[in-house]
């Protein structure tokens, strides 16, 4: 032990350069890994935010339509609606997309995340009698990103057809 402490030669320049270059290579690898991890975190958190908002909004609209009787619908969304796609129910209450808002019985359902908006491209189309395709488009202007969610819902068929 005393022999080691008495050695005062120190490190050579080559040893010092080798240690510095090895530390630099490990640091570059570690920083790259850290940045890649942060990028993946941002992508996943954005996707999760979109899905959370879509779940809340879509469930609200699907629940409303699923419990609606066909006889309670006064007006259905027009076939090629571009901005205002809504049902007019008995009592003159609107349910659907009006501009960039989702209305359920004339009550606006807004997004819980202030960075996410409902796009005016959201719409409802009738695919067959009592069956409707709901297209919800959410946008995040900060990241210039939008995501489309689609769902099919049936209303309660309480109207007798002439064939019955």
Residues 55-70 have pLDDT tens digits of 999 999 999 999 999 9
User: What confidence score (pLDDT) does residue 97 get?
Assistant: 93
Residue ranges in the chain modelled with pLDDT below 50 = 1, 162-164
CA distance 25 to 129: 66
User: What confidence score (pLDDT) does residue 2 get?
Assistant: 55
- Give 62: exposed, middle or buried? Use CB within 10 Å, 0-12, 13-18, 19+: middle
In the chain, where the domains are located: 53-154
- pTM for the model: 0.77
CA 150 to chain centre: 12
Instruction: Specify the DSSP element, H or E, that contains 138.
Output: strand 131-140
């Amino acid at each position: 032990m005393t022999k080691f402490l008495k050695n005062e030669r120190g490190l050579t320049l080559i040893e010092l350069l080798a240690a510095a270059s090895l530390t630099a290579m490990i640091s570059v690898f570690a920083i790259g890994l850290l940045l890649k991890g942060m990028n993946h975190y941002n992508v996943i958190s954005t996707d999760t935010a979109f899905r959370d908002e879509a779940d809340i909004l879509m469930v609200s609209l699907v629940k409303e339509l699923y419990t609606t009787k066909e006889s309670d619908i006064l007006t259905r969304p027009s076939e090629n609606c571009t901005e205002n796609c809504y049902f007019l129910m008995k009592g003159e209450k609107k349910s659907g997309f009006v501009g960039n808002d989702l209305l359920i019985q004339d009550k606006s359902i807004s997004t819980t995340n202030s960075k996410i908006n409902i796009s005016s491209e959201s719409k409802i189309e009738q695919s067959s009698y009592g069956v409707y395709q709901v297209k919800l488009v959410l946008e995040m202007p900060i990241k210039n990103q939008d995501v489309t969610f689609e769902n099919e819902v049936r209303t309660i068929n309480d109207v007798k057809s002439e064939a019955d």
